[in-house]
Amino acid sequence: MRYAETGFRLEVDLTRGSIQKVPTEPSWTEMFLGGQGTAAKILWDRVGPEVQAFDPENLLIFTAGLLVGTPVPGANRTVVNTISPQTGLYAHSIFGAFFGPELKHAGYDQIVFRGKAPDLVYLWIHNDKVELRDATHLRGKGAQETARLIREELGVPEAQVAAIGLAGENRVYMATIEHSSASASRGVGAVMGDKRLKAIAVRGTQDLQLAKPEEIFRLSLDMFKAISENPFTGDIMAHEDDEEFHVDNFAWGNARKRIKGFWNKEREERWKKISESVRLRWTGCYNCPKDCHQAIKVPGHETYFQKCYSKLTYAMAAYKEIDFNYQILAKTQAYGLDGFSTPQVLAFAVELYEAGILTDEDLPGFPEDNGDRFFYLLEKIVRREGVGDALANGVYHAARQIGRGAEKYDHNTMKKFEQVPLKLKMINFPYFLMYATGEKMNITQIEGSYPQVPIADKKEREEFVKRWEAAPERFKKWYLEWEPRTHPPLEAAVHICDWNETMHYIDDAIGMCAFLSSFRGQFGGQPPYHIYNLPKFIAAAAGIELTPQELWNLARRNRNLIRAINVRRGLRRKDEKPPEDHWQIRDPEKEQKVLSDYYTFKGWTQDGIPTIGTLEKLGLADVAEDLVRRGILSEDDREPVFQDVSA
């Protein structure tokens, strides 16, 4: 009996139009849990380093996390994995709302797409009935409109739809996959568009087996209540009208400058009024009491959902106010564009114009106003018209395609990917490690368990630590000793990075929302889920008994497998560096020291490659053999083996 998972995945060959229902390997669940973990296993096994993002052999994998569809509150994430056209590496994305639970109830944990359809299609899954349908009539339709039209033509209002907009169809690297109030970012929409897959619609009415039904219900009802009463959960900042944290601390324009003092009471009042005038309501995801998303209606546009820090990203990139942001989001959500990376590409293009690198020849009729310029560039990019064709490949590639000195303006990418527009003063070693070594391309997918800053008052710090159930013991000591504006010991930096990323690797395998878990410990230290209580949810729902230690090691296995995918694609120590100007004051010597320490701690070579010893200890001997066969590891690279830590 399989619990929490269905035990089946769909294999869809878009070139041939064939669909298979394949039983999944139970041992994979034991090893990788599910979600991102099992997707990584498939990518490792089936997508070699010779396969490029837009080759038909690249796979696009949608996986509902292990606990998705169970009563466990907040476990509603679908993970999307593929090879990214932008980085050439493993692409990781994750989205919430309702798609994952519906997929599970339809009888599948995962959908694996390969090949390319001859023309636009969509996949319709209705329990056992699965078919590819023509989508040529949906060409160019907005993502939200596509969902509406598909529901109407199927006559199934309950169908959950994940769709791409024009950006995905035209393989724009910033393209998202949009679903309800959620979207999958970091470029996975480009691969979906390359495969000419416009959408997936799913309706499921089947049961999911639970290992200990009554126990998981009791646990879940208590947790549901606890989450709703916990002030540190959900997207707290989304609800705040005081935007000082973002507007004063994050950089404006092409990640260029901080505007101190921008924020004031008058502006807060004005922005609040604007937000209220376009907001239809706050909405939540499946089986979670938090309402982290705003449904927004801007006159003349389809309703869309705003989430996370995208409330400000376009405004800040364009030096505009919040009304501009709501306006442009109405378009970018329909086109299906990532609200983190797209604004940076637009601001980068404006800079190139102002520097005379892009001229009126490249941008005929380019408007004067920065906001108008953003709208202008947007249309060029989603259609890949003129210089928009280069810009559609993101800042790193566009800079090199445009040339003429544009490379100099690419200052905020890492591993060829746009980073959050943060420019800070003093090097921060845990963050240095998270940026440098992260496999998930965005700091928000890596940080989150250990606080960003210490509480100044020692007594309050002690109180904080007393309530800090989520933290393994070693962190309590480091936190207690952490005085404001001082560096934690380098050893602590290594462990902080390890803990932060480990929690994300767990969430991304079980399908848990990071706002209830891995991202949420850093403010307040009271995430509802943590390494010590997650095992009982996994046991009661999925019947997999793990100690906190075993769960930690399982996350470690997934982390190393994904590392191996990227190593096989060429990722090495030389690539592991944050944007040069991320911090003004750097310490190259210590940075390299902490990076070396981290590699040793992880059981990797000094070039960032997991050793044979580490891989074997994690049950990944086949991965080690492959790396040896390819000459990436030698037979002698057996040490260091990763350091065991207590959870």
CB within 8 A of 26, min separation 6: which ones?
A: 2, 7
Among 16, 21, 22, 221, binds other proteins (CB under 8 A): 221
**Closest separation in Å from C-beta 298 to other proteins:** 13
Binding-site size for other proteins (CB under 8 A) equals 44
Among 21, 137, 139, 225, binds other proteins (CB under 8 A): 225
Nearest to 153 by CA among 170, 168, 169, 135: 135
Beta strands in 509-601 (DSSP E): 583-585
Site string for other proteins, 150-189 (x = CB under 8 A): ------xxx---------------------xx--------
Stretch that binds other proteins, among 63-71, 269-277, 567-575, 635-643 (CB under 8 A): 63-71
User: What does the chain come to in residues?
Assistant: 647
Among 281, 425, 466, 629, binds other proteins (CB under 8 A): 281
CA-based angle 180:182:183, to the nearest 5?
115
Under DSSP, is residue 62 helix (H, G, I), strand (E, B) or coil? Answer: strand
Q: Are strands 177-179 and 8-13 parallel, antiparallel or unpaired?
A: unpaired
Pick 83 or 210: Cβ nearer other proteins: 210
Nearest to 77 by CA among 113, 104, 43: 104
Among 15, 20, 249, 303, binds other proteins (CB under 8 A): 303
| Distance, CA of 8 to CA of 190 (rounded, Å) | 26
Binders of other proteins among residues 125 to 154 (CB under 8 A) are 144, 148
Among 3, 173, 250, 286, binds other proteins (CB under 8 A): 286
Stretch that binds other proteins, among 209-217, 330-338, 546-554, 627-635 (CB under 8 A): 209-217
Task: Indicate the residue type of 315.
Answer: A
Q: How far is CA 242 from CA 268, 402, 425, in A?
A: 6, 39, 24
**Closest separation in Å from C-beta 623 to other proteins:** 36
Residue 34's Cβ-side half-sphere holds a number of Cα atoms within 13 Å equal to 33
Site string for other proteins, 500-519 (x = CB under 8 A): --------------------
Binders of other proteins among residues 74 to 103 (CB under 8 A) are 98, 101
Pick 206 or 584: Cβ nearer other proteins: 206
Among 123, 208, 399, 406, binds other proteins (CB under 8 A): 208
Pick 77 or 411: Cβ nearer other proteins: 77
* Residue 553 found at the interface with other proteins (CB under 8 A): no
Stretch that binds other proteins, among 80-88, 282-290, 323-331, 485-493 (CB under 8 A): 282-290
| Distance, CA of 53 to CA of 167 (rounded, Å) | 16
Among 2, 55, 283, 474, binds other proteins (CB under 8 A): 283
* Residue 289 found at the interface with other proteins (CB under 8 A): yes
End-to-end CA distance of the chain: 30
CB within 8 A of 114, min separation 6: which ones?
A: 11, 12, 13, 14, 15, 56, 57, 58, 59, 60
Q: State which H helix or E strand residue 111 sits in.
A: strand 110-114
Residues that bind other proteins (CB under 8 A): 69-71, 73, 98, 101, 105, 144, 148, 156-158, 180-181, 204-208, 210, 213-214, 216-217, 221, 224-225, 228, 280-289, 291, 295, 297, 302-303, 305
